[in-house]
């Protein structure tokens, strides 16, 4: 297992539309486990593959408080959604920024597991729903700050530039 380097905004790979995974091999499995380790190490709830530079449709997440239910999702798709809900979000690729984002309250997601078997997560709510939508957005090159008004987004971009100068 190994910790992976997280790409941060405005890295162009974060804007990439990721391509479907077609090869389910030991390398993919190793990568997924390294992603989980990296996510837990950072106390995050989810991580998408392009955040670590791999531009295929793979993500990991664990929305439990005690890190007891890891998910590995390959080629995930939202197949149903219901309602609207606002909640505060952050992202490992956009450090120190936390903003309210409105998303679907409930989602059903179909994906493949690390071996390629299809499974669904039915009627996910709360943090799990939120995290599924945030991570699937990543695979489509979309970031949570894209939901903000242009003015608010500009303010955040300024703040991120200042932070980058300090390091």
Residues acting as catalytic residues: 135
Q: Please tell me the distance from the alpha carbon of residue 101 to that of residue 129, in angstroms, as a whole number.
A: 13
The SS3 assignment for 161 reads: helix
97 binds Ni ion (CB under 5 A): no
128 binds Ni ion (CB under 5 A): no
18 binds Ni ion (CB under 5 A): no
- The residues with which 71 forms a beta bridge, in sequence order, are 61
Of 40, 78, 39, nearest in space to 57 by CA: 78
Q: Please tell me the distance from the alpha carbon of residue 44 to that of residue 10, in angstroms, as a whole number.
A: 20
Sequence-distant (6+) residues with CB within 8 A of 159 are 97
Least distance in Å: CB of 117 to Ni ion?
26
Least distance in Å: CB of 76 to Ni ion?
14
- In the complex with Ni ion, the residue whose CB is nearer, 91 or 101, is 91
6 binds Ni ion (CB under 5 A): no
The interface region with Ni ion, picked from 7-15, 64-72, 87-95, 108-116 by CB under 5 A, is 87-95
For Ni ion, the binding residue among 91, 104, 124, 131 (CB under 5 A) is: 91
Tokens of 101: 């984002």
Least distance in Å: CB of 135 to Ni ion?
7
Site of interaction with Ni ion (CB under 5 A): 91
């Amino acid at each position: 297992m190994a910790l992976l380097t997280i790409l941060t905004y405005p890295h162009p790979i974060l804007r990439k539309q990721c391509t479907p995974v077609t090869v389910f091999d030991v390398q993919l499995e190793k990568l997924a486990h390294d992603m989980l380790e990296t996510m837990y190490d950072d106390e995050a709830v989810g991580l998408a593959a392009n955040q670590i530079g791999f531009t295929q449709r793979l993500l990991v997440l664990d929305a439990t408080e005690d890190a007891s239910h890891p998910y590995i999702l390959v080629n995930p798709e939202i197949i149903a959604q219901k309602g609207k809900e606002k909640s505060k979000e952050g992202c490992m690729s956009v450090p120190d920024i936390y903003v309210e984002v409105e998303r679907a309250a409930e989602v059903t997601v179909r994906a493949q597991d690390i071996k390629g078997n299809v499974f669904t997560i039915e009627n996910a709510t709360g943090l799990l729903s939120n995290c599924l939508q945030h991570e699937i957005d990543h695979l489509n090159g979309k970031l949570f700050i894209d939901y903000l008004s242009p003015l608010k987004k500009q303010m955040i971009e300024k703040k991120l530039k200042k932070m980058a100068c300090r390091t």
